[in-house]
């Protein structure tokens, strides 16, 4: 399967964009196609065994059938060519038309022919693009094109002597279209700026010098230098230097993280302090920032049910409204007399003006894409507007335990010294005992506190680890035996101390891991470790309950451990000692019972259940390929609160999309109803067309500026 992208420069009609998409999909051998109106792109995929890549001429022919003025370009040509803007010329055209119209209306006492001439010049100057497009569409048999219908409506108004209104309708239609294009363009630039995190230059280090190259030409193993204030162009490992990096473009998290030699650094991050040399580990096309941007851009292909409904609605809306217009023009004169033909013709023309569904076709996809863009700025990658909309239907949130609700690593929860031993001294001794081990328990003990006690060095006069084979022994399944400063120490399980006949009282804790410590034959205390529940988990579960969502935990851990975590978080249900297949079965059962289930896991071990849930949300390592591939929504930072952000953004997007649907359809229906009874005018129809579209676009852009409020969030 191959994918091809074209830029449709000058694409301003969302309804036409939908028609172009349908036409390309109808080509034999094309498996999928979509037009991203928000970025003026046509993307299609074809099967090489059934279809060759469509030629540029074939694409141009399809596009020009619906949008004759659109210029089709390859992405490379669109990027390299700086086409001069016609915005100044457009403003001058409309301003001149407005002045001519105002002169004809304000200057009294002018000869009638002069007034008509002024109105005619104003009509032609403001409306010639519409007239040209109308004839092109007429030639292409596109009877329901808005330009053709607008031309018919204004010509009809001229035919019944409504010259000023015909000119005003054309003029203000074009002014409305101009401001609508500005609003759509602004939203496009806002989305592009939001995702402008891909550097164009990499400083390649070669022979002691730096050479600027495009990141596409940097190979794996090359060394690049990134200076303070610059964005990292490629994934890699720090070879030289230390720095603080800002990963907010990837995660939405503003707090910098410190990185040193040997640590991984991701493309899209910004180096804050200190230049670093980086050994490249991934090619440009495989880098984190490229994958993220491709994921967000491709999200347009996955349309939401609302978008699909609007596309179908638009397909039938215009023909139905045109038919109603024809009936209003043709039928009433037979009933009320042909002397009223002009009045009914005027009322029918109102329907023609209002017959374009652009307000919906533009604003609804723009609203969803703004929601996806907003989510990405908060470190939440949503693979399609269908998944964004589906978030609003979720009633059950199922969590994996380890690494999701808990930190996924052991941490000290209690230090319990025996009589005559100090807690700090006990912990210090335990650290020295565990200092040579790579076991997770040893790492947890060594990470407690800010410093690790220094290890005794050989030949310094102290009794230390002169001979590790004699002084340090790791006893499999039980713990460690070590000699420190001439004394023998034990640190490990209950079984270890019993084997050495140490007198002590075991701690009954089926949930936690307990390390017992002895000095010689004397028990000196214990250290309790647990996989601690994340602090934010309590607030997240509480917030989900307030949203009336059921919370469930699935884990492969022991029942006692699962029970302790579930009770602490007040979960609605939990299941323990599960295999991945068991988790998949439980989620499927919930779905079969009628629940809409979101599963939150790490994206690596839970791929089957992530795929089987209504929505799969993965949390894990930043930029994890497995996480990005396995789920519908990827949370780029290891914070459960991002789940609330996702629900919050989805709810706001739904709210604004619903507002636009109700507003656009409501105004259009109201103006049409008033028009039937002669209570509306073509001026009002213009507002119901381009005015409503402009307001709907501006409303959709509010999603981009929305800031999730977790504390006061209600769906």
pLDDT at 78: 65
- Residues 686 and 626 both lie in one domain: no
- Tell me, yes or no, whether 184 and 303 share the same domain: yes
- What is this structure's pTM? 0.75
**pLDDT score, position 456:** 38
Same structural domain, 391 and 417: no
Establish if 294 belongs to a structural domain.
no
DSSP-derived secondary structure letter, 400? E
More confident residue, 432 or 138: 432
Q: Which residue has the higher pLDDT, 187 or 439?
A: 439
CATH number at residue 45: 3.30.70.100
Instruction: Tell which of 651, 670, 694 closes a domain.
Output: 651
For residue 537, the enclosing domain spans 368-406+533-651
Tell me the pairing of strands 550-554 and 396-400: parallel
My answer on whether 188 and 305 are in the same domain is yes
Regarding whether 131 and 239 lie in a shared domain, the answer is: no
Per the domain annotation, does 324 fall within a domain? yes
Q: Is residue 214 part of a domain?
A: no
> Chain-wide mean pLDDT for the chain?
84
Based on the domain organization, do 503 and 433 belong to the same domain? yes
Q: What is the CATH number of the domain that holds 505?
A: 3.40.1110.10
Q: What is the CATH number of the domain that holds 540?
A: 3.40.50.1000
CB atoms near residue 100 (< 10 Å): 22
pLDDT at 334 over 70: yes
Check: CB of residue 657 under 8 Å from CB of residue 367.
yes
Domain end call among 532, 561, 591 = 532
The CATH code of the domain that includes 272 is: 2.70.150.10
User: Domain for residue 712, yes or no?
Assistant: no
pLDDT at 581: 82
Active-site amino acid positions: 400
One domain, residues 414 and 527? yes
Q: What percent of the chain has pLDDT over 70?
A: 88
Together in a domain, 169 and 315: yes
Helix/strand number for the chain, H first, E second: 26, 26
Q: Is 206 inside a domain boundary?
A: no
Given 52, 80, 108, which residue is the final one in a domain? 80
Do β-strands 472-475 and 30-36 pair in parallel, antiparallel, or remain unpaired? unpaired
Residue 496 pLDDT more than 60? yes
How many Å apart are CA 383 and CA 485, to the nearest integer?
59
Tally of domains within the chain: 5
pLDDT given for residue 450 in this prediction = 43
**462 has a pLDDT exceeding 60:** no
Please tell me whether residues 486 and 513 are part of one structural domain. yes
Instruction: Kindly tell me if the per-residue pLDDT of 324 is higher than 90.
Output: yes
Of 167-171, 247-251, 480-484, 670-674, least confident by mean pLDDT is 247-251
Residue 25 is assigned to a structural domain of this protein? yes
State the pLDDT at residue 349: 92
202 part of a folded domain:
no
Residue 19 maps to a domain: yes
Query: For residue 460, what pLDDT is reported?
Result: 35
567 pLDDT tier (thresholds 50, 70, 90): very high
Asked if pLDDT for residue 458 goes beyond 60, the answer is no
Does one domain contain both 146 and 162? Answer: yes
Pick from 54-58, 323-327, 412-416, 600-604: least confident:
600-604
More confident residue, 661 or 465: 661
Residues 96 and 55 in one domain: no
pLDDT score of 627 more than 70: no
Same domain, 470 and 424: yes
Nearest one of 34, 693, 5 to 363, comparing CA atoms: 693
Whole-number pLDDT of residue 455 = 40
Name the region of 527 (left: φ>0; alpha: ψ -120 to 50; beta: rest). beta
- Answer yes or no: is pLDDT of 80 > 90: no
Residue 484 corresponds to which tokens in the numbers above? 């420190």
């Amino acid at each position: 399967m191959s994918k091809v992208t074209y830029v449709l420069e000058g694409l301003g009609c969302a309804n036409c964009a939908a028609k172009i998409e349908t036409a390309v999909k109808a080509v034999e051998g094309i498996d999928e196609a979509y037009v991203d109106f928000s970025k003026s792109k046509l993307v299609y995929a074809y099967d090489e065994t059934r279809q060759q890549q469509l030629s540029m001429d074939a694409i141009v022919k399809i596009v020009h059938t619906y949008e004759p003025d659109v210029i089709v370009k390859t992405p490379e040509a669109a990027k390299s060519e700086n086409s001069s803007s016609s915005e100044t010329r457009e403003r001058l055209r409309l301003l001149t038309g407005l002045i001519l119209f105002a002169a004809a209306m304000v200057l009294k006492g002018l000869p009638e022919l002069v007034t008509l001439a002024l109105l005619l010049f104003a009509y032609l100057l403001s409306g010639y693009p519409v007239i040209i497009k109308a004839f092109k569409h007429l030639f292409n048999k596109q009877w329901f094109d808005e330009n053709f219908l607008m031309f018919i409506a204004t010509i009809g108004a001229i035919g019944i002597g409504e010259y000023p209104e015909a000119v005003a309708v054309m003029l203000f239609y074009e002014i409305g279209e101009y401001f609508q294009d500005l609003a759509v363009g602004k939203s496009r630039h806002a989305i592009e700026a939001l995702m402008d995190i891909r550097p164009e230059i990499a400083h390649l280090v070669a022979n002691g010098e730096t050479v600027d190259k495009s990141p596409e030409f940097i190979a794996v193993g090359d060394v690049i230098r990134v200076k303070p204030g610059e964005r990292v162009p490629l994934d890699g490992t720090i070879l030289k230097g230390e720095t603080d990096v800002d990963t907010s473009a990837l995660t939405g998290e503003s707090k910098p993280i410190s990185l040193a030699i040997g640590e991984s650094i991701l493309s899209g991050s910004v180096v804050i302090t200190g230049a670093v040399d980086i050994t490249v580990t991934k090619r440009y096309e495989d880098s984190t920032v490229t994958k993220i941007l491709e994921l967000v851009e491709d999200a347009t292909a996955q349309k939401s049910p609302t978008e699909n409904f609007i596309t179908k609605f638009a397909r039938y809306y215009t023909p139905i409204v045109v038919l109603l217009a024809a009936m209003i023009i043709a039928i009433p004169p037979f009933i009320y007399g042909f002397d009223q033909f002009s009045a009914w013709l005027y009322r029918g023309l109102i329907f023609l003006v209002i017959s374009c569904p652009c307000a919906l076709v533009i604003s609804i996809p723009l609203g969803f894409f703004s929601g996806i863009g907003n989510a990405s700025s908060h470190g939440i990658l949503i693979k399609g507007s269908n998944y964004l909309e589906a978030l609003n239907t979720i009633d059950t949130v199922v969590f994996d335990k380890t690494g999701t609700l808990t930190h996924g690593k052991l941490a000290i929860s209690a230090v319990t010294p025996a009589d005559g031993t100090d807690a700090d001294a006990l912990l210090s001794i335990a650290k020295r005992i565990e200092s040579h081990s790579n076991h997770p328990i040893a790492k947890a003990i060594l990470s407690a506190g800010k410093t690790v006690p220094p290890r005794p060095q050989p030949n310094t006069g102290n009794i230390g680890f002169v001979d590790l084979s004699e002084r340090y022994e790791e006893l499999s399944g039980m713990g460690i035996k070590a000699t420190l400063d001439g004394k023998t120490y034990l640190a490990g399980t209950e079984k270890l101390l019993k084997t050495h006949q140490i007198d002590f009282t075991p701690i009954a804790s089926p949930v936690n891991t307990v390390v017992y410590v002895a000095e010689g034959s004397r028990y000196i205390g214990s250290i309790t470790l647990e996989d601690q529940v994340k602090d934010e988990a309590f607030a997240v579960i509480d917030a989900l309950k307030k949203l009336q969502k059921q919370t469930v935990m699935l884990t492969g851990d022991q029942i006692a451990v699962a029970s302790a975590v579930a009770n602490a978080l007040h979960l609605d249900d939990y299941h323990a000692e599960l295999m991945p297949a068991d988790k998949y079965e439980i989620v499927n059962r919930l779905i079969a019972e009628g629940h809409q289930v979101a599963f939150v896991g790490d994206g690596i071990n839970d791929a089957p259940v992530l795929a089987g849930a209504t929505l799969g949300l993965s949390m894990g390592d930043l930029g994890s390929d497995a996480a990005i591939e396995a789920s519908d929504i990827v949370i780029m930072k290891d914070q459960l609160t991002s789940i609330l952000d996702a629900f919050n953004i989805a709810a706001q997007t739904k709210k604004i999309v619903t507002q636009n649907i109700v507003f656009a359809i409501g105004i259009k229906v109201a103006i049409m109803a008033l028009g039937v009874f002669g209570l509306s005018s073509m001026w009002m129809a213009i507002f119901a067309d381009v005015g409503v579209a402009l307001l709907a676009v501006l409303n959709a852009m509010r999603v981009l500026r929305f800031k999730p409020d977790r504390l006061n969030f209600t769906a």
